[in-house]
A and B are shown apart, each in its own frame.
Chain A
């Protein structure tokens, strides 16, 4: 199911009424009901995929218990969990990609090969819940988390519907304690949750869905685009994907709050970032912190010298790119961000040795934000491009296509510019937190957003991150 639908809200409101009635007096019943609703929510895509979630849940639950019961076999059980989860991900998401890539490599040697193709649909959200369950087994292995005995609680954590299909990726150690505490939402929490839901729907249906037709158009005409159109395409896709994904995250966080749970924020004005490491502290925070804690640090992080740090950064970002989808374009996207991070680190070391005078530093601050925004925008081209030709053509076109005016230029740059300004203004403050604090502001903003949802929503479309 998707959040931007009447059907979802009809079923959710019915579920919520029963859930709140059960929650205080019969918490186990409330959890069981939530689990059932979560499976229903997910099963609306394809009920067969529930088997995968079920398998993943059972294996990780058993692996966690096994680690506490048989400490000598902890590593073997961790490997079992990694093998199963990454194996399912590999088969369903990457099999065809790796098979065709291998065939391509063999063909380079002169032997024609027909790669085997798996004709199965990609289970929606598999990348998200795989990383969630892995965080549980890795934390139990590291001793950071006690294994859970309640299968219901663990299954609830894995399948909890607000963040099941597109995150935020919630860590077991943050969420399972909440499940066990069974917090009842206060009116304040309830109201703030609904505020976030409206804010998230606004981001998706008003911002992202109105940017989408322009993005589709600008990417479909890439062969005729002027340089400004290529820039507009990259910046507007940045607007679209941020509105789409942060909108989904806000609705997820809001729904969890309405039900009494806290899910960490996933975005924090990323286009107002100063530098690339700052960008990754603001963009898809739950994934970047997951990659940092479970991949980058496991690889050695920055503890083994400069060269090793750069290699680890590149590996992390390349795999982070691949996580998004089975395509070389995503790897290129991750690779460019890896290079950005390495260059930034090298520059930072250089600057630390030769400090910049304060008066220049103040000037460099806004320049740095704009440069970060523009360089991040460039990376959206490989992320969105449908072919290598299109990607290379549009990247080249950013600099070498003619700089001429075009129809809709004011709308395109005005839209992207307004979003950029918003992120820059709110870079040190959370808009959602401001809303929580001021009743008058909340009334004003909610009124504007509800009216916009009615009058200004774009054509309904699927959330982009569902494909990951």
Chain B
């Protein structure tokens, strides 16, 4: 027994002075954190950034708890996460007279398509094969070449982790100028130490729509609004330039081979696979046209021999509104999801319980 074990008769306030160090430490800590925050804000150094879509925990929880019975997983990076409405798809499917299906928005921001397919195959190892609809976007293909880790399974994921995630996101959004996760503060310190405290755009709020999709709001670290079109295009122009400067394209070819091999593995296990290309703006299309044709949507779909639809090619979908030339507005998302339901109904009817 500890030396200060008290009996049930010991008054609580016995030894109250021992609480003072804890109290003073908490106050000092709060003063310290506020002081550091103030100093960084003063130097345009607000590093707050949230995940512009599902977090890893939310994604894995969603996949693990999906019905896995006539499920249609629509995958991709944030373009898919922002661009597929489960509700609009299900409504259209019901209108068409489809059977019992479960559309699942499985778009994960900042993630390679190949790694999501890989993850789904692992999760579905003991379950029956389902349908995966891949949003192939050259932007995503070249932009996230090294992010397989982002769907590295979180071990023993439980509801608490998801609730924690929710609380954390809520706090991050709510305390835009006050609260950060310790990791982000650590990153901020790292940046600061390396002299890289720069004005940069960050995601400050995540919007979750009842249709089962997301988008997010971006601002500069000093709070000024970001011109999404300009920012996205200038950023993607740099990505394209990097790709073009990289002579033999060995790395993209390897990534393409990996993606094709993973998709073939999915098909050999009985999964239905379809490919879509959500529309992008004209300037973005111009940038993409500079890339080698072997990485284009049509080349990829042809090589895989899967049903595919390029929304840039259709009259009624190519000019829908986008937020930044490649992420859809909520209205466009709902509209395109209904179009996708019709496409699957007509071209891959077995996935729609027909």
Contacts and interface: CB of A to CB of B under 8 A. Distances in A.
Interface in A12-36: 20, 23-24, 27
Nearest to A190: B19
B2 A257 contact: yes
A5 interface: yes
Given A2-B160, A44-B159, A457-B182, A191 B1 contact: no
A24 B6 CA distance: 12
Given A184-B6, A191-B18, A455 B185 contact: yes
Contact of A457 (B2, B25, B171, B183): B183
B311 to A, nearest CB: 37
A85 to B, nearest CB: 23
Given A187-B14, A462-B156, A466-B156, A446 B22 contact: yes
A10 B186 CA distance: 24
A182 B8 contact: yes
B43 interface: no
A442 interface: yes
A195 B164 contact: no
B203 interface: no
B155 interface: yes
A7 B164 contact: yes
A459 B183 CA distance: 7
A187 B33 contact: no
A8 interface: yes
Contacts of B161: 5
Contacts, number: 135
Nearest to A194: B22
Nearest to B155: A462
Interface string B310-347: 00000000000000000000000000000000000000
B168 interface: yes
B167 A187 contact: no
B147 interface: no
Contacts of B12: 20, 184-187, 190
A446 B25 contact: yes
A189 B5 contact: yes
Contact of A262 (B2, B14, B29, B158): B2
Nearest to A456: B186
Given A1-B160, A181-B7, A450-B29, A455 B19 contact: no
Nearest to B26: A450
Contacts of B4: 186, 188-189, 192
Contact of B8 (A1, A184, A466): A184
A6 interface: yes
Contacts of B225: none
B33 A262 contact: no
A250 to B, nearest CB: 14
Residue in B4, B13, B25, B155 with the greatest tally of chain A CB atoms within 10 Å: B25
Contacts of A186: 4, 6, 10-12, 14-15
Given A2-B160, A192-B4, A462-B156, A187 B19 contact: yes
A191 B21 contact: yes
Given A183-B8, A439-B21, A7 B182 contact: no
A447 interface: yes
B18 A10 contact: no
Interface string B154-196: 1110111101100110010000000000110110010000000
A7 B14 contact: no
Nearest to B6: A186
A454 interface: yes
Given A1-B160, A184-B12, A450 B25 contact: yes
Contacts of A194: 22
Residue in B7, B24, B26, B29 with the greatest tally of chain A CB atoms within 10 Å: B29
B25 A443 contact: yes
A453 interface: yes
A233 to B, nearest CB: 19
Given A44-B159, A183-B8, A457-B183, A191 B168 contact: no
Contacts of B17: 439
A181 B6 CA distance: 10
A23 B185 CA distance: 40
Nearest to A466: B156
Interface in B1-50: 1-2, 4-22, 24-26, 28-29, 32-33, 36
A187 B16 contact: yes
Interface of B: 1-2, 4-22, 24-26, 28-29, 32-33, 36, 126, 154-156, 158-161, 163-164, 167-168, 171, 182-183, 185-186, 189
7 contacts: A183-B7, A187-B19, A189-B15, A190-B12, A195-B22, A262-B5, A447-B32
Closest 7 CB pairs of A and B: A188-B15, A446-B25, A457-B182, A443-B21, A450-B29, A442-B21, A186-B6
Interface of A: 1-2, 5-8, 10, 20, 23-24, 27, 44-46, 119, 124, 181-192, 194-195, 205, 257, 260, 262, 439-440, 442-443, 446-447, 450-451, 453-459, 462, 466-467
